Copies of this chain bind each other. A is one copy, B any other.
Amino acid sequence: MESNPVIKNILSRKSIRKYTDMPVSEDQIRILLRAAMAAPSAVNLQSWAFIVVTDRLLLNTLSMKLPYAKMVASAPVAIVVCGDLSKATYGGDYWVQDCSAATQNILLAAEALGLGAVWTSTYPEEDRIITVKQILSLPEYIYPLNVIPIGYPNQELTPKDKFDEENIHYNMW
C-alpha cells in the first residue's frame, strides 16, 4: 500500500523554504486552488477565500513584515488562505478547520506537481493577522489563516518520519 502514489505523496511532502527563479504557471496555480476547494467544510459552508500574490512588491512587503516568513521574498507566488467569516454561519470556529484542510490539499497538490511550499501561520496571532490584512487590503470579515510561498524547490530535503507509536491508542486511552 505504501507504493500507492497518493500515499507516497502524503509521506514525501516536505516544507520547502528555498525556491528557484522558475515561474509557477497560471494553470498550476489553478490546480492548487481547485485542490484547495475540494476540501470538506463544516456543513459544506466553504467559508474560505484565497489570495494569489504574485506582485513582487507585495511578496517583499509580506516577507519584511512577517519575520518568520522571510522566504516569501524568494518565492514566485504565495497563496494566502483566508476564512470568510461572512459565510461561517455555523458556530464560530469551524472555518479554521475547513481552511486547514484546504491548506493541506494545496501542500499535497504542490508536492504532486513537483513544486515546493511551506505553511507559515498567521492565525491566531493578532499582530500577524493585522499585518496581512493591511498589506492585502482584506475586508474586516476576511481572516488570513496562513501565507503559503510556492515555487520550484531549490533545496533537497528528506521527508521527516514522524510516525510515533505512542500517539496511538486503541478503543480507550
**Which residues of chain A have a CB within 8 Å of any CB of chain B?**
1-2, 4-7, 9-11, 13, 15, 27-28, 31, 33-35, 37-40, 42, 44, 46, 48-55, 58, 84, 91-94, 96-97, 100-101, 103-105, 107-109, 111-113, 118-119, 121, 123-125, 136-139, 142, 145, 159-160, 162-164, 167-173
Contacts and interface: CB of A to CB of B under 8 A. Distances in A.
Given A6-B6, A101-B101, A173-B138, A124 B54 contact: no
7 contacts: A4-B112, A7-B113, A11-B35, A40-B118, A97-B103, A97-B145, A100-B100
Nearest to A54: B171
Contacts of A172: 51, 58, 136-137
Given A1-B113, A11-B35, A171 B52 contact: yes
Contacts of A159: 38
Nearest to A102: B104
Interface SS, A side: mixed
Given A1-B27, A11-B38, A52-B169, A100 B96 contact: yes
A169 to B, nearest CB: 5
Nearest to A46: B162
Given A10-B38, A50-B167, 14 more contacts: A1-B113, A5-B6, A7-B31, A10-B105, A10-B108, A33-B167, A33-B168, A46-B162, A49-B168, A52-B168, A58-B172, A100-B100, A101-B104, A101-B119
